[in-house]
Amino acid sequence: MPVRVGIPRALYYHRYRVLWHVFLTELGAEVLVSEPTSKQIMDAGISCCVNEACLPVKIFHGHMESLKTQVDRLFVPRLTSISRDEYVCPKLGGLPDMLRSSIRDLPPLLDHEVNLRKSPESSWQSAKAIGKELCSDPYRVRRAYEMALTVYRGVRRMQISGMLNLGSQEREQVCSPKFRIAMLGHSYLLNDPYASMNILKKLKSKGVKLITTEEMDPRIIREQLHCNMKQPFWNHAREIMGSLSFLLQLGILDGVMYITAFGCGIDAFVEDMAARMAKGFGSGIPWIRIVLDEHSGEAGTDTRLEAFLDMMEGRKSHAHHFSPNGEYLYPCESHAGRFGP
Ligand code: SF4
């Protein structure tokens, strides 16, 4: 009988789902992914996780709770560094230990470390260790790893070219969208409709073209960082700073939306750095920050989205007489750079 491996639909699942799914399936495992986040899952996570944790980590705990009785193993890779010379948040490196101490009766975890900063071979070493636990044939493990990488790279190429997210209606919007907004934030928040209160879908339905860091070519991000700034330490910071720098230089943005989670230590720095960068461009570009937590009310967030769209509309039709903070300016008072975020 195949081993049943559970993958929580949270955190880096949203980025690596294809890679993980193909790899485990090719090894002969039966993969079970938890249901999309719901109130029950979030509540389960809140009740078993420590209070100080950020929202995505609490949600991850909820997904683990929902899966633990249905599977033989749980897949929780210990992610320390997922790209050269960069680190991910320390909460993710310590996640398997946190889970073991917070949740009772967990099945064994597949928690092998990926640390590309230590060794470029680290992801293969981790795959080999997982392979040993699930199948006895080393050739099959190598094949599964290579196939998973090939499929994942193909999906990334499509994502970067913007093809994946574009339905036919959306394609028309791309040609002449009402607004273009840089959507900054963790992919695991943006791609979780419940946690993010469906912000992406709501904005798209209003004719807004959203540009996320996932769609940006990593080569462009590296080039921007190399030319324009000191290299940030965190992977998340590099993606945001490199993407924003490129988009601001292109001059195509009508606004910037920064989605963050209550309790995110990294965003406490990164958001401020990004806001200063936008201000430094002197365009007075409209900027909104939305903080998500377990108590976020959807009605309040919807009102803020509407107000943000109205402000961008106002700035489009009255040139720059609306400040990025929503305050009306007389023409003689407005000048670039004065009203930053
Ligand atoms: S980066 Fe922020 S949101 Fe993500 S796990 Fe770390 S603290 Fe939580």
Give the tens place of pLDDT for each residue, 139-197.
999 999 999 999 999 999 988 876 555 444 555 555 567 889 999 999 999 999 999 99
Tell me whether the CATH fold assigned to 4-159 matches the one assigned to 165-333: yes
Nearest-angstrom CA–CA distance, 161 and 165 = 10
Task: Output 324-331 pairs: Cβ under 8 A, ≥24 positions apart.
Answer: 324/284, 324/285, 324/286, 324/287
Residue 96, pLDDT score: 95
Give mean pLDDT, residues 203-225. 89
Distance between CA atoms of 148 and 118, rounded to whole angstroms?
22
Q: How far apart are CA 13 and CA 268, in angstroms?
A: 23
Regarding the beta carbon of 292 and ligand 1, being less than 6 Å apart is answered no
pTM score, whole prediction: 0.88
CA of 168 to the centre of ligand 1 (A): 34
The domain spans of the chain are 4-159, 165-333
Q: Is any ligand 1 atom within 6 A of the Cβ of residue 138?
A: no
pLDDT for residue 80: 92
pLDDT for the residue numbered 281:
75
Listed in sequence order, the residues at least 6 apart from 254 whose beta carbon sits closer than 8 Å to its beta carbon are 179, 180, 181, 285, 286, 312, 315, 316
Where is pLDDT greater, at 124 or 337?
Answer: 124
* pLDDT tens figures, 277-326: 888 876 678 899 999 988 767 888 899 999 999 988 888 776 555 555 54
| CA 76 to centroid of ligand 1, rounded, Å | 16
Residue-wise DSSP of 254-299: SEEEEEEETT-HHHHHHHHHHHHHHHHTTS---EEEEEE-TT--HH
Average pLDDT over residues 218-238: 82
Q: Find the angle CA(79)-CA(85)-CA(89) to the nearest 5 degrees.
A: 35
Q: Is the CB of 270 under 6 A from ligand 1?
A: no
Residue of 95, 266, 290 best suited for mutating to test ligand 1, as the one with most atoms within 8 Å of CB: 266
CA of 292 to the centre of ligand 1 (A): 12
Beta-bridge mates of residue 33:
7
Class of the domain covering 165-333:
alpha beta
Q: pLDDT, tens digit, for every residue of 22-49?
A: 999 999 999 999 999 999 999 999 999 9
The answer, yes or no, to whether any atom of ligand 1 lies below 6 A from the CB of 79, is no
Q: What is the mean pLDDT of the chain?
A: 86
pLDDT of residue 229 exceeding 60, the answer is yes
Which range has the top average pLDDT, 71-80, 160-169, 214-223, 283-292?
71-80
Q: What is the mean predicted confidence (pLDDT) over 202-222?
A: 90
- pLDDT tens for 162-173 read 655 544 455 555
C-beta of 67 in contact with ligand 1 (< 6 A): no
Judge whether residue 239 has pLDDT over 80: yes
Q: How would CATH label the architecture of 4-159?
A: 3-Layer(aba) Sandwich (3.40)
When mean pLDDT is compared across 95-99, 125-129, 267-271, the lowest value belongs to 267-271
Asked whether the beta carbons of 225 and 242 are under 8 A apart, the reply is yes
**Test site for ligand 1: of 92, 99, 196, 239, most ligand atoms within 8 A of the Cβ:** 92
Position 74 scores a pLDDT of 97
**In this predicted structure, what is the pLDDT of residue 297?**
76
Cα 75 to ligand 1 centroid, rounded to whole Å: 19
CA-proximal residue: ligand 1, atom 3 (nearest): 264
Residue nearest to atom 6 of ligand 1 (CA): 89
Which of 241, 95, 114, 141 has the alpha carbon at shortest distance from 182? 241
CB 58 within 8 A of CB 31: no
pLDDT value at 336 more than 50: no
Q: Is 73 near ligand 1, meaning CB less than 6 Å away? A: no
- In one letter, which amino acid is 233? F
Is 89's C-beta closer than 6 angstroms to any atom of ligand 1?
A: yes
